[in-house]
A and B are shown apart, each in its own frame.
Chain A
Amino acid sequence: MARSTILGVFAKSPIKPLEKHIRLVVKCGNLLIPFFSACYEKNWSEATKVRRRISKLEQDADSLKRQLRLELPGGLFMPVDRADLLELLTQQDKIANRAKDIAGRVLGRKLEIPACLQKQFSEYLSRCIEATEKAAEAINELDDLLATGFRGREVVLVEKMIDQLDEIENDTDSMQISLRKDLLALERDLNPVDVMFLYQIIDWVGDLADLAERVGARLEILLARK
């Protein structure tokens, strides 16, 4: 009986799940702050707990991603391009994956951040997480964008957010450069293998901001089409 009514024409909106997905992803990234605090104190049992939570959130985001993909079959007529939407989702999901990678690698090697770099590293980390939060803020405008038919001042508002996101990402780039420089100065006193992995972790944390920026870019493309 349900199919015989006109309401079958209205398919499930992908926008709310997409917004929920990025909220999960950001939560995942945010947990890196307590994770590294535990690492600084060499409290590995606490770090293990936090990593488990990160991993759990990452799995949640993954299953939401899969569900969203299944609910977005080809025969939908949407105000935005389906391929763009799926690409956006993929980019969002990568942030969570990277957060999980970081926690896993640090914990696996019980990698210690040199004490004199900790403060600088924390600042760098929070700035990168800020980028992901900004991306989430922009994504959360999608339902308002739908309300306004993807045009007008909502678009301007979102573009402004994407600009801010780019600024934050630029910031993290210069922070990364100075962090690498300071690490270079310390290098000879540290275990070479650890140093290798420290560079990798710095890279990966920077990836959080890079990926957030890419989410913003995908959103921009989504808006520019049509």
Chain B
Amino acid sequence: MEILLNSGYTLVIIAAVVGLFMAWGIGANDVANAMGTSVGSKALTIKQAIIIAMVFEFAGAYLAGGEVTSTIRKGIIDASFFIDSPELLVFGMISALFAAATWLLIASALGWPVSTTHSIVGAIVGFAAIGVSPDAVEWSKVGGIVGSWIITPLISGVIAFIIFNSAQKLIFDTDKPLQQAKRWVPLYMFLAGFVLALVTIKKGLKHLDLHIGTTDGYIYALITAVLVAIIGKIFINRLKFDESAAIKTHYANVEKVFAVLMIVTACCMAFAHGSNDVANAIGPLAAVVSIVDNGGQIAAKSTIAWWILPLGGFGIVAGLAMFGHKVMATIGQGITHLTPSRGFAAELAAACTVVIASGAGLPISTTQTLVGAVLGVGMARGIAAINLGVVRNIVVSWVITLPIGAGLSISFFWMMQTVFI
């Protein structure tokens, strides 16, 4: 207890630095997954992708990141267990952050596709269950989180399947696909805008002390969605179509319309990623700050300190600005056999799933959800070839991440205990 009073601010600063480092790592590495499909299908240049990612990652983190942060902060661990020894929770959270950030760094250096969400959840559960006591973990909540990791890729796969099939029916399998594309693509933009705006308004703005009623919320979301669709329509009307391209492949011009749509879904994806993944960096930080601020009291109901969400957003954007270019360049160079009409279905489905999960406070993996969506499009016979070997590697890396995150976090936890006590 005295430790918290004597060196409370040192601990907060340590936590903030590690949290920033973690956010930075997420920005540098994980964003490539969120934006990769847009860059890979040549709908966006690297520069455009980075600008979009910066704006929307920050907006997502700041506007809609609160709910997941709360879960990471106090949903996984049974706080009552730490009432007598709050310093253990502080050490544990810092260790968890340290462990997740270290693992992210190692995995990035080795080129393994790990999930930041899995590493932080594994790390928190690890220090609490082994370092303290298995009873310190809210196992039912953890069960729910792990269950969501299995269910969300499934849901996003099903949504992607439906979206892709609807695009086939409405646009591709018609006499005049180009006209149909011009007519229906704004509808998908509307859908994307609506889901995003609704989740932000209903779930995200709470912590900003903006309270909007249910009906008002729907009306604002509708207005936002219509605006998005109208702006999209204007851009589509300004497209120039190459008549000679239409002779070679019938769908070259249609893909141009979808490329505009992909800009919208890329924004959604960045927003969704920001809203969900920022919590991995700042959730533990928020826990540390709230305990130290309350002088060792573990407050059941406390708001997140105002500076924490922007700090996470800033960290992600900084990582993106410094390393995003390099990571995106490797994507841009590689030939991807992905056209905007397939990419949009996967991105839109994944973004919607992630944003809804974020609104529900579930820390899920963006990449995992996106992989689920890609498989959904594949099931609809939309993608020429999906490398199941790579899919398997990704899944394996997720499973491995849990024990490794836990192990690292336990070692850091014991180390901190010997240093500070």
Contact = CB atoms under 8 A, between A and B. Distances in A.
Given A9-B391, A149-B164, A149-B168, A76 B108 contact: no
9 contacts: A5-B330, A6-B36, A7-B37, A10-B338, A10-B374, A13-B385, A76-B386, A79-B382, A149-B380
A73 B254 CA distance: 31
7 nearest CB pairs, A to B: A152-B173, A13-B384, A79-B381, A11-B385, A11-B387, A13-B337, A77-B386
A1 interface: yes
Interface string B355-397: 0000000000001001100110010111111111111111000
A70 B31 CA distance: 32
Interface in A44-70: none
B385 A6 contact: no
Interface of A: 1-15, 72-73, 75-80, 143-144, 146-154, 226
Contacts of A147: 172, 249-251, 254, 339, 341
Contacts of A10: 40, 336-338, 374, 383, 385-387
Contacts of B114: 4
A4 B108 contact: yes
Interface string B335-358: 111110100000000000000000
Contacts of A2: 111, 330-331, 334
A71 to B, nearest CB: 9
Interface in B289-331: 326-327, 330-331
A151 B173 contact: yes
A149 B382 contact: yes
B32 interface: yes
A152 B172 CA distance: 9
A12 to B, nearest CB: 6
Interface in B181-236: none
A77 B173 contact: no
B55 interface: no
A81 to B, nearest CB: 11
A13 B335 CA distance: 10
Contact of B173 (A7, A79, A154): A154
Contacts of B37: 6-7
B337 A12 contact: yes
A144 B251 contact: yes
Given A3-B113, A5-B331, A150-B381, A75 B172 contact: no
A144 B250 contact: yes
Contacts of A148: 168, 172-173
B416 interface: no
B276 interface: no
Contacts of B370: 6
Given A2-B334, A148-B172, A9 B387 contact: yes
A3 B390 contact: yes
A12 B164 contact: no
A78 B336 CA distance: 15
Nearest to B368: A6
A168 B304 CA distance: 75
Interface residues of B, number: 55
Given A4-B32, A8-B390, A147-B251, 11 more contacts: A2-B334, A10-B40, A10-B385, A75-B392, A79-B382, A147-B254, A148-B168, A149-B381, A150-B381, A152-B172, A153-B173
B107 to A, nearest CB: 7
Contacts of A80: 381
Q: Which of B33, B250, B380, B387 has the largest count of A CB atoms less than 10 A from its CB? A: B387
A3 B381 contact: no
A118 B138 CA distance: 89
Contacts of A226: 381
Contacts of B111: 1-4
A5 B393 CA distance: 12
B380 A75 contact: no
A221 to B, nearest CB: 16
Contact of B36 (A7, A13, A143, A151): A7
Given A4-B29, A4-B107, A15 B384 contact: yes
Nearest to B390: A8
A80 B390 CA distance: 19
A169 B412 CA distance: 75
B112 interface: yes
A171 B370 CA distance: 52
A13 B385 CA distance: 6
Contacts of B250: 144, 147
Interface string B50-80: 0000000000000000000000000000000
Given A144-B250, A148-B173, A5 B33 contact: yes
Contact of A77 (B164, B339, B388, B393): B388
B336 A77 contact: no
A78 B383 CA distance: 7
